[in-house]
Each structure stands twice: as structure tokens, then as C-alpha cells.
Amino acid sequence: MGRGKAGYHVASEMARNPRPRRLCETVGCKKQPTYGERGNKKATRCSTHKAIDMINFKATRCVVEGCGKSANFGFEGKARRRCSKHQEAGMTCLSAARCTFKGCPTAASYGFAGKKKCRCTKHKEEKMILFGAKRCGVDGCSTQPKFGRAGEKPTRCSRHKDDDMVDLGARKCEERALREELKQLLPEFELDFNKRIDGETCHAIRPDVFVDLLTHVIVIENDENQHKGGFRVRTHARTSGT
């Protein structure tokens, strides 16, 4: 049984003139909008041009009342229902890529360069790299950087480090060990670790450990050579006036 003439003409008209696709309101952008203002039911911007306070209308929301965050957590085999803050015991992150090793439910964080991440830390294969981690500053090198200049962030791997660079990763381990030991030795004191201290001079200092005892202060450095010139002078100026 065929369609009536009216139905045929309506279908033909829709085929010739399809409904215009809504685009991001940013001039010149041809992407579909998925972000919009909270409380507004209409998406107006794409992910590239979204404002800071905009939310993703396409994302599943946390079921907790008043929480507008995306729901990434849920029970295995079921839908996502909670955000990371409101996740229940036994829930896992369902939005993350899973390790492809048979029977492994862990999120994938490793993969081959130029491809997608597909393995967890336990099941990563040789030459796989950690996705999301910083890389050596030398073009073509995918190794994580551990070396850098004193007081700066690591930028090079052991193979491409400059002569004046030091192993900053080892220093971090030493700092953590020092912190734990000091917490046990001085439980009655309030300790500040690697915190910016504004003094009377035109510069600020950031010692490894700082203890303010009102009448005097204690500054502990795991390796004072990591700080650039002038640290001792500024520290003395800070402590001598108390």
C-alpha cells in the first residue's frame, strides 16, 4: 500500500531541504555545540570555545542531588551514575579506556607512541610509553624527563641531559623521606613543606621545610645547592629580625 500524495510531498521536501544543523555560536566555527550555561537547556558552544563555567550537556550527570559534575563512575557492567567525589565502594571509572589484557579491569595508561593507550602498568609491553606524562625536551625522544637544572622542572632524560643538569627525580624521593622522618621526630610542631615564605626582602624563599616558633624560625634544606644564589643571605635576613 503506497503513501498518500501529501505524505510523499512532505518527505520529498524534507529530503531537499534538511533541517539546518545547529553550530557553535562562535563566528566561523562549524562544530556542533555541546556546552552551555548551567541552568540553560540549550547548548551554545563546542568544547574548543566553551566558557570556563559552562557544562557539557551531552555528558551523563552524577545522580547526587545538587552535583552537576559528569558521571564517570559506576558498577562494572552497568551505567555510569556517580562522579569521582560521590562514587560508592566498588565503583570503577567506566569512561576510561580499559587494559586490553584478558581479564584485566584496570584503566589503560600505557601504549605505543602514536597509538592509543591500551595497557595498564602491570601489563604494559616493552617500548610502551606512559600517556599523559611529560616527555624529554629533545625532538623524537619519548622518555620521561628526570633531569633538569637546579630549582627548575625536569626537561631531559638521562641520555639527553646537559652537563649541568641533576637528577631531580632522586631529589624528590629524598625530600619525601625527609618529610616523613621530620613528622615523626617533631610531632608537636607545625611544619610547612616547600611553601613560599614572604619576608622583609624584595624576594621570597621556598625552603624544603619551614618551622615558625614565633620567637625564631627553623629553615631546613635537603640540598641548599638546589636554590639559586642569595638564599643564605635572604634566610639570614628573615631569621635575624625575629
Question: What rounded mean pLDDT belongs to the chain?
Answer: 76
Average pLDDT score over residue span 188-202: 63
Q: Is the pTM of this model over 0.75?
A: no
Tell me how crowded residue 5 is: count the other CB atoms within 10 A of its CB: 8
For residue 242, the Cα-to-chain-centroid distance in whole angstroms is 40
pLDDT, position 1:
47
What is the pLDDT, as a whole number, of residue 233? 38
Q: Residue 239's pLDDT band (boundaries 50, 70, 90)?
A: very low
Report the alpha-carbon distance of residue 89 to residue 70 in Å, rounded.
Answer: 18
**DSSP tag of 192:** E
CB neighbour class for 118 (10 Å; exposed up to 12, middle 13-18, buried from 19): buried
Output DSSP code: residue 219. Answer: E
Q: If you average pLDDT over residues 91-114, what whole number do you get? A: 85
pLDDT digits (tens, 9 = 90+) for 107-126: 888 999 888 889 998 999 99
CA separation for the pair 130, 140 (Å, rounded): 15
C-alpha cell, 138: 629533545
Q: Are 113 and 102 in contact (CB under 8 A)?
A: no
pLDDT band at 150 (very low <50, low <70, confident <90, very high): confident
d(CA 30, CA 33): 9
Please, which residues have CB within 8 angstroms of residue 180's CB and are 6 or more apart in sequence?
none
